[in-house]
Amino acid sequence: MRCPSRSLSLALVAALVALVGCKPKEDTAAQMAKAGILVINNNAEPSGLDPQEVTGLLESRIVYSLFEGLVNYDPVDLHPIPGVAESWTMAPMARPGPLNFGPTPAGPPATP
């Protein structure tokens, strides 16, 4: 006949190991947030980041996050609003006229 205390001890040890191993692990996103790092999942590696050559949606998401256009669109009714250009005038025949730029946008220095 088997000793029930041995089986009971083994079951208690297994339960204890399982409980200790079930500690919630902090995920990578939470670790990055604590470090002040913004992570954006793009689902795939971009083929390039040249704004003039980007044609895919994956690359466009990154390019739109990196660069601001001269003119942006209002998110409510999509009318043009200033981007990098502070203001602009329309020439006859609905052609864009001169763009007026505001102060230089803050960013990293342009020296290599």
Q: Is residue 109 part of a domain?
A: no
pLDDT of residue 112: 54
Give the pLDDT confidence of 13-23 residue by residue, as tens digits.
Answer: 888 777 776 66
Can you read off the two tokens belonging to residue 59?
Answer: 């690359």
Please, are residues 74 and 82 in contact by the beta-carbon 8 Å criterion?
no
Higher local confidence (pLDDT), 81 or 102: 81
Residue 77's pLDDT band, with cuts at 50, 70 and 90, is very high
Domain count, the chain: 2
3-state secondary structure of 58: helix
Q: Is residue 58 part of a domain?
A: yes
Give the pLDDT confidence of 32-72 residue by residue, as tens digits.
Answer: 888 888 777 888 888 888 888 888 888 888 888 888 888 88
- Shared domain for 77 and 61, answered yes or no, is no
Q: Is residue 78 part of a domain?
A: yes
- Shared domain for 62 and 29, answered yes or no, is yes
User: Does the pLDDT at position 81 exceed 70?
Assistant: yes
Q: Which of 94, 91, 73, 92 is nearest to 82 (CA)?
A: 73
Specify burial of residue 63 (Cβ count, 10 A radius: 0-12, 13-18, 19+): middle
User: Does the pLDDT at position 82 exceed 80?
Assistant: yes
Q: Is residue 19 part of a domain?
A: no
42: domain range? 24-67
Distance from C-alpha of 79 to C-alpha of 88, rounded to nearest angstrom: 14
Q: Is residue 85 part of a domain?
A: yes
Return mean pLDDT, the chain.
79
Q: Is residue 100 part of a domain?
A: yes
- Shared domain for 56 and 74, answered yes or no, is no
Q: Is residue 14 part of a domain?
A: no
Q: Is residue 13 part of a domain?
A: no
